[in-house]
Amino acid sequence: METMMMKNRTLRAAVFAASCLTLWPLMFAEAMAQYQNSPSASAPEITENPVKKALKEGKVVVGATVTAANPDVAATLAGAGFDFLWIEMEHSPLTLESVRSMILATRGLKAMPFTRVPVNELWTAKRALDIGSLGVIFPFTSTRELAEQAVKACKYPPQGLRGFGAALAASRWGMSGSDYAKFANENVLVVVIIEQKQAIDNIEQIASVPGVDVMFIGVNDLSFSLGVGGKTTDPIVEEAVSKVLAAGKKHNIPVGYPAGNPAEINKRIAQGFRFFQASSDLGMMAAGARDVLSKIQRDEVGAPKSNPK
């Protein structure tokens, strides 16, 4: 009996060792795939960021805000006609895994995936970019140093400090790792958010940083920083907004604004804004539901008549 048990253990050990020898080369090959030159066969290929191109041409771009961790929601909005998705990781429970799934779901669709990271740090930008984001939105960028850090976080050396681990990003964009590095340095959109009084005081220095593609006004936080919390059209806020627009015009940097409805977007276009964060997925779903329900004429249906006995 003991001899039989020893033979079984020996057999299991041999099977395990053979499995390891079989799987190890596969695991090693997968780990090294990011350094190979074989582009994905299924991912659509693009040669430039259409949003960045449109902004350089002076056009207006509009993005939908994504807060729900659902690839179908992201894909639906990406195919609805928006120029980009504002994937919200600062004010939502989205995880890197859910954002990766959403970014993959947008392949072949119009909207480019941009991600607002929780904080302006090299590592937060790197993680968003390495899962396929084609733009990073940096909150609370209130100094020249933070604006420079945002640019460096989005570019590989020698232009920046982004570390190379491009397997997932390269597969999303249908190219090899080496091709992706060049593509990313030229096409990743760098958006810095101006949302503190300190940023207004430093707006000239921020606007003069090479590589900043958009200055976006976080008008809600800005109103609080200026002492009029929530009053986004207060004269002191509008004065600060005008300063950002003037700096953007002087340094040829598009300026962005959050606007939840077409009337507000059109008003801000007339002011000179060209990059818009539109309403969120949940906001648009609720608005659509209210619109449908408001048009149903159920009050005109009379109460059922009782059957005579």
User: What pLDDT is attached to residue 72?
Assistant: 97
For residue 197, being part of any structural domain is answered with: yes
Which CATH number goes with the domain that contains 138?
3.20.20.60
pLDDT of 167-179, one tens digit each?
Answer: 999 999 999 988 9
**Does a structural domain hold residue 231?**
yes
Q: 39-53, 67-81, 136-150, 212-226 — which is least confidently predicted?
A: 39-53
What local confidence, expressed as pLDDT, does residue 306 receive?
A: 66
Q: What's the number of domains the chain is made of?
A: 1
* 131 or 21: which leads in pLDDT: 131
Tokens describing residue 224: 């609080």
User: Hey, which residues are catalytic here?
Assistant: 91
pLDDT above 80: residue 256:
yes
- In the structure, what pLDDT confidence band is assigned to residue 299 with cuts at 50, 70 and 90? confident
Task: Tell whether 225 is covered by a domain.
Answer: yes
Residue 252 has pLDDT above 70, yes or no: yes
In a domain, 40, yes or no: no
Residue 8 in domain: no
- Confidence band (pLDDT; 50, 70, 90) for 298? confident
User: Model-level pTM?
Assistant: 0.83
Q: What is the mean pLDDT of residues 34-45?
A: 42
Q: Is residue 216 part of a domain?
A: yes
Residue 137: which pLDDT band, with cuts at 50, 70 and 90? very high
- What the block records as the tokens of 177 is 């790792």
Residue 88, domain member (yes or no):
yes
In sequence order, what are the beta bridge partners of 84?
63, 112
Residue 262 lies in a domain: yes
Lowest mean pLDDT among 14-23, 183-192, 283-292: 14-23
| 146: containing domain | 48-293
Q: Three-class SS string for the chain?
A: CHHHHHHHHHHHHHHHHHHHHHHHHHHHHHHHHHHCCCCCCCCCCCCCCHHHHHHHCCCCEEEEEECCCCHHHHHHHHCCCCCEEEEECCCCCCCHHHHHHHHHHCCCCCCEEEEECCCCCHHHHHHHHHCCCCEEEECCCCCHHHHHHHHHHCCCCCCCCCCCCCHHHHHHHCCCHHHHHHHHHHHCEEEEEECCHHHHHCHHHHHCCCCCCEEEECHHHHHHHCCCCCCCCCHHHHHHHHHHHHHHHHHCCCEEEECCCHHHHHHHHHHCCCEEEEEEHHHHHHHHHHHHHHCCCHHHCCCCCCCCC
Q: Is 81 a residue whose pLDDT tops 80?
A: yes
